[in-house]
Amino acid sequence: MSALDRRSTLTGAAALLLSPRLALAQNLPYRLEPVATGLANPWALAFLPDSRMLVTERPGRLRVVTQQGALSASVAGVPEVWAQGQGGLLDVVLAPDFATSRRLYLSFAEPRAGGAATSVLAATLSADASRLEDGRVIFRQMPGSSGPVHFGSRIVPARDGTLFVGLGERGQKERSQDLSTHYGKVIRLRPDGSVPADNPFIGRVNVRPEIWSYGHRNIQGAALHPQTGALWTVEHGAMGGDEINTPQAGRNYGWPVITYGRDYSGARIGIGTHKEGMEQPIHYWDPSIAPSGMLFYTGDAFPHWRGSLFIGALAGSLVVRLTLEGNRIAGEERLLQGLGHRYRDIRQGPDGMIYLITDAADGRLLRLRPT
């Protein structure tokens, strides 16, 4: 058993944080420390240029958090959200030119006739970070639905200036294969919400032109590979079958025709694990860990982890570190087990530390630092 594997022997609610003393006793190269508490089901984290953080809370608040853990009042100008089930205020991402434009993007469950669906707002953060200005919805998932689950949704600015958005299938799995809907898709937009001319389904009758790839279930994490610039995503399976994919233009990723999971009843889903014309995941988990945020680590604080892919987990209450050989997963290590946290998002800070938020009514912002 490795020193890191020995961490899994720590269980119980009493082990809320991995303290320096405990980390040293376990011979671990890291410790987990609190930055802020009192966040209501935080969902996403983004770093401002001055190292303060924006954190979304699913009930509909956007907060600014300092490195010392001070929480701002709710930022004004956040749109009304449908805070039911898994819905609410979701991702927050800065535009690549934020330092000069102050532009950012929010994804959220937007109230619609008969229910809600995922939308994306573009807005400008005021100079004092107290309010959003010039907010405009640039994308609306169609159609709306009364279902309370599977909204997605991560936003990733691509190197060519477009935006990728990962969308859930709203609990209506067959619609992942239906190109007349945005359910269970990765979409690709220009920053103003218009459709890039080279999207793969442009001009197809009864096909949503925003679609980039399809056959997804519920995308919960997404990031660009730091060397190739390719989009990587991670999505929830049902009972097993969580997947990492590298969505490519026009490709079908199989849900619900093929999957490595089963229904919650134990029944089989679809036809099995393979079908011609449908893509295989580059990695999957069975049983499920309920993956969340995704991070390619490029920092200096943990040089031995540089190049690793980190993924948080909700049901698994852990963080997975994956080593890569090209597009192949070469190894997996499970960290921070036994602390009772549902890790919702994971991000690299400008200081090279790893920051995490926990999904709870009294959610935490945590920092992983070297011992």
Indicate the burial class of 126 (C-beta count within 10 angstroms; 0-12, 13-18, 19 or more).
middle
| From 150, 182, 216, 236, active-site residue | 150
Is the distance from CB of 222 to CB of 185 less than 8 angstroms? no
- With a CB cutoff of 8 Å and minimum separation 6, the contacts of 238 are 217, 259, 261, 262, 263, 264, 269, 288
Is the distance from CB of 171 to CB of 147 less than 8 angstroms? yes
DSSP code of 279? P
Kindly report the backbone phi and psi dihedral angles of residue 25, in degrees, each rounded to the nearest multiple of 5, phi listed first.
Answer: -60, -35
Location of structure tokens 């995922």:
118
183: nearest Cα among 205, 222, 154, 152: 152
Is the distance from CB of 35 to CB of 366 less than 8 angstroms? yes
Indicate the burial class of 351 (C-beta count within 10 angstroms; 0-12, 13-18, 19 or more).
middle
Is the distance from CB of 39 to CB of 357 less than 8 angstroms? yes
| Residue 150 designated active-site | yes
CA torsion angle 220 226 228 233 (round to 10) = -10
Total Cβ atoms within 10 A of residue 253 = 28
Q: Are strands 219-224 and 231-235 parallel, antiparallel or unpaired?
A: antiparallel
C-alpha–C-alpha distance, residues 105 and 112, integer Å? 20
Q: Position 3: which residue type?
A: A
Location of structure tokens 């490795």:
2
- With a CB cutoff of 8 Å and minimum separation 6, the contacts of 2 are none
C-alpha–C-alpha distance, residues 79 and 38, integer Å? 22
- Give me the active site residues, please: 150
